[in-house]
Chains A and B, each alone.
Chain A
Amino acid sequence: MSYLKPTLHHPKLPTNALGLTRRDYEGSISTLCAGCGHDSISAAIVQAVWELSIPPHRVAKLSGIGCSSKTPDYFLGASHGFNSVHGRMPSVLTGANLANRELIYLGVSGDGDSASIGLGQFAHLMRRGVNMTYIVENNGVYGLTKGQFSATSDKGSKAKKGAVNTDEPIDLVALALELGATYVARSFSGDKDQLVPLIKGALTHQGVAFIDCISPCVAFNNHEGSTKSYDYVREHNEAVNRLDVFFDRTPITASYAPGEVTEVTQHDGSLLRMRKLHEDHDPTDRVAALNYLARHKAMGEIVTGLLYIDPHPEDLHDHLGTVATPLNRLDDAALCPGSAALEKINAALR
């Protein structure tokens, strides 16, 4: 087995604004099963961060436990990383973000890590609006423990040995919408054309951005009767829109009928341009998005694309009125202003 990817690369490999190639954003070679959707998501993250010309050391990647949570080792080898306790990535990330808001936070989790053991953490992070990108690599199965149903397995879907799931699934997209996430998307590991722009949009979003990414488990959940297999997802995938992310007002080259394109300018100046694929979907209306999701779920469709975006999000720092400077750059006097300052605060609260 190969443990090292050859450093030789395509002689015409393009460089980004920093002069780096995509290969400079890779991590070590994956030890996940061959064909795992998670590896495609890692590749999409590499592509997105490279395209945005983000210096790798400006990114902090955090994860919990599980197949998905192993993946931060396989991308952005030069970024900060934290492999936390099972289901506890949200609280560790929240703390990191409070201490240093200048980094770009990327949380990678799985359906077990976020929908089972970490559901409470997931919910509160969404509520608080921590400025981060939260990617759930959702395969609907406990792959690391050999294929039990997870909390996102659809009711009626079959396990590899034929057992039928009788429990209702948790839809993390619906939860995120309900709990106040300001950028909510669903995608599929087998469709990088859709996934890469969604990750770029999420990374530039200045609030909590959630992407539920269906990621087939080739070893335990890619059979007939599974609703998270490559074939099933390809057959039932209903994309609501196609997203492009721009940093300038690039003129629209293709011609669209009026109302076909929705444009959203984010706080950092990036322009999200969504090509509508479904007439009746408005990505800036949270209630409509929830309705749309419920309606199409009832029709047996897997709705993908950018389902909801708030162009003017608020984040946790806005709510708390915290200092803009990272704590590691404040001096002792600022960090520990002394008993007089404490007295003043206490007095204000009496």
Chain B
Amino acid sequence: MRPTDLTTPTHFHKVVDCQWACPAHTPVPEYIRLIAAGRYTDAYMINWHSNVFPGILGRTCDRPCEPACRRGRVEEEPVAICRLKRVAADNKEEVLSRMPPVPALKNGKRIACVGAGPASLTVARDLALLGYEVHVYDAEARGGGFMWTQIPRFRLPESVIEEEVGYITGRGGVVTHYNHRVQSLKALLDEGFDAVFVGCGAPRGRELDVPGRQEAAANIHIGIEWLAKVSFGHVERVGKRVIVLGGGNTAMDCCRSARRLGGEDVKVIVRSGFEEMKASPWEKEDAMREGIPILNYLVPKRVLHENGRLTGMVFEKVKAEYDAKGRRNLVPTGEPDVTYDCDDVLVAIGQENAFPWIERDIGLEFDRWGLPKLDPVTLQSTLPNVFFGGDAAFGPKNIIWAVAHGHEAAVSIDLHCRGEDVRDRPDPHVRMASQKMGIHEWSYDNDVSIDLRYKVPHVEERLALRDIRVEVELGYDRELAYKEAQRCLNCDVQTVFNAKLCIECDGCVDICPTDCITFTENGEEDDLRTRLKAPAINRSQDLYVADGLKTGRVMVKDEDVCLHCGLCAERCPTGAWDMQKFYLETAKTYANGARACRS
């Protein structure tokens, strides 16, 4: 194998699994250490720069970081990263004075953002901090977009949204045009904006197309629209027997909301298998804990109704079969159809994009799925001054993806407005710093906690089910947060090897608690992976290979289950191993400390 290339940050970035998995690449271990140190405000600010909505995301994030967490590979469960983020938001002190000031002197460029969801707001924040004048349009009366309507209040209180949206719209540089639905992109462009960002979401819920749908329409609701009505107080009750169709997180929000609005017999019915459901495992668990069964492999066939009133639904039993290419087909099992009686049906089987307000003759092209043709990196459309992000770009995703898009789109817009190539992306800001404080002493807490994951305390179920506005999760208190934070393995404190200093004494090999390090003859990767002290079977994790040793062997470290305990460096007599903190922040348009995408 070739020696690992350390001239780019890729290898070490991938070692920080959580940060690598996060669409916005939030420096997770760094803020977790700050939480452990009781520096909640500092932890919040790291999040604020990176993911803009720490309080919201600390409750609602899809948390791609957690399945990636290394802790999940050395014991049972990952660190509760998402809920620790909430701890930073809950316990922070005053933060406004820590935010970079919005320049009083404007740069003369005007940007329009369509929609006031997380993607648009991220664009607005990043550009306003650079002196742009950003106009945000939304049909609703307040900013936040789907975060208002599609997440029930028992998961995300209003005050949290108001606060974090306010950090963007309330500090100058951003002009909001609420209660203003953009009807024409052409008209907007004619107003002379230097660039337009489309972050209007994917607003249409997918329809259910089965016999009886129209006849029983009064009791069949599109899930996200129903959630919005619940959020605004237009819907306060639901029937006793409720069927929720669909297997995504929206379906989970629907069924749990229904439980709180009078639904006693609520069930979720999905076409696919339980395992393939799009909903996050913890959301499924939360629903099932509230007494909601999830029935799988049932395809809706017919709606039953009497005198215009819904009475039940008929489902066909199916099973999954895979063809030669591994594609799944749901085929009927031939068993008799199943009928479930019900009073209401909530349809949460997906969302469709809709851009009726974008004229098709202005040079902006769409693909055959009705989504805009975009450069996946720059998010630039076929109209050079129009950019997309969030659910409007590639279909429904989640908040953290919307934020990530927002940052990238802001960088593109800034490059575009300065007449530069939008594909010439600025590098991330990377720092590597030794954590050595003395002989065998490190500036991070290298003791590895063996505690198992701590559960987030919940409000009593009796209280939770009584009022839909009661937040179910109470969040970790400071003591629990400290203990959970100590479970973090500090994967950003990297084991950095210097072959020139190594005397090949095997001290590191002998001490490593997880058998990561091997000194051996070089070979092809497939061969090398079998010859290590413990076989390196997790191919998603890279090998760290270094040559230049006196014996001609190579040092091979399997990064997979390294605990970052620093024992290799403690037992190294020559300092060939060093523990260095790797800090990576993606480029933002504005300068944050020493970092900016341009000088």
Q: Which residues of A contact B (CB under 8 A)?
A: 1-2, 4-13, 23, 29-30, 33-37, 39-40, 42-43, 189-190, 192, 216, 218-219, 222, 230-231, 234
Contacts and interface: CB of A to CB of B under 8 A. Distances in A.
Given A2-B565, A40-B505, A230-B505, 7 more contacts: A8-B448, A9-B515, A10-B561, A35-B573, A36-B505, A43-B506, A219-B573
Interface in B535-577: 535, 537, 550-551, 561, 563, 565-567, 570-574
Interface of B: 73-75, 439-441, 446-448, 450, 503-507, 509-511, 513-516, 534-535, 537, 550-551, 561, 563, 565-567, 570-574
Contacts of A189: 506
Contact of A4 (B447, B503, B506, B550): B447
Closest 3 A-B residue pairs measured CB to CB? Answer: A35-B573, A1-B440, A6-B448
A191 to B, nearest CB: 9
Contact of A39 (B447, B563, B571): B571
Nearest to B446: A2
Contacts of A6: 447-448, 450, 513, 563, 565
B566 A216 contact: no
Given A5-B511, A8-B513, A34-B570, A40 B534 contact: no
B503 A222 contact: yes
A244 B565 CA distance: 35
B505 A216 contact: yes
B498 to A, nearest CB: 14
B440 A35 contact: no
The winner among B75, B440, B513 for most chain A CB atoms within 10 A is B513
Q: Which of A2, A4, A30, A216 has the most chain B CB atoms inside 10 A of its CB?
A: A2
A227 B221 CA distance: 85
6 contacts: A4-B447, A8-B75, A10-B515, A11-B73, A40-B505, A234-B551
A192 B533 CA distance: 12
Nearest to B551: A234
B571 A190 contact: no
Contacts of A39: 506-507, 510-511, 571
Interface of B is mostly: loop
A35 B439 CA distance: 14
Query: Which of A9, A23, A36, A219 is most buried by chain B, counting CB atoms within 10 A of its CB?
Result: A9
B447 A2 contact: yes
A233 B516 CA distance: 26
B534 A12 contact: yes
Given A8-B450, A35-B572, A40-B506, A2 B440 contact: yes
A33 B573 contact: yes
Nearest to B75: A8
Contacts of B447: 2, 4, 6
A13 B513 CA distance: 11
Contacts of A190: 504-506
B514 to A, nearest CB: 5
Given A1-B440, A8-B513, A36 B507 contact: yes
B506 A11 contact: no
A1 B507 contact: no
B506 A13 contact: no
Contacts of A230: 503-505
Nearest to B571: A34
A9 B514 contact: yes
A337 to B, nearest CB: 50
Contacts of A35: 503, 505, 507, 571-574
A10 to B, nearest CB: 4
Contact of A34 (B75, B507, B516, B537): B507
B450 A7 contact: yes
Contacts of B565: 2, 6
Contacts of B551: 234
A36 B571 CA distance: 9
A131 B375 CA distance: 76
Contact of A40 (B507, B516, B561): B507
A234 B552 CA distance: 12
Nearest to A47: B510
A34 B574 CA distance: 8
A35 to B, nearest CB: 3
A92 B267 CA distance: 75
A33 B571 CA distance: 8
B505 A43 contact: no
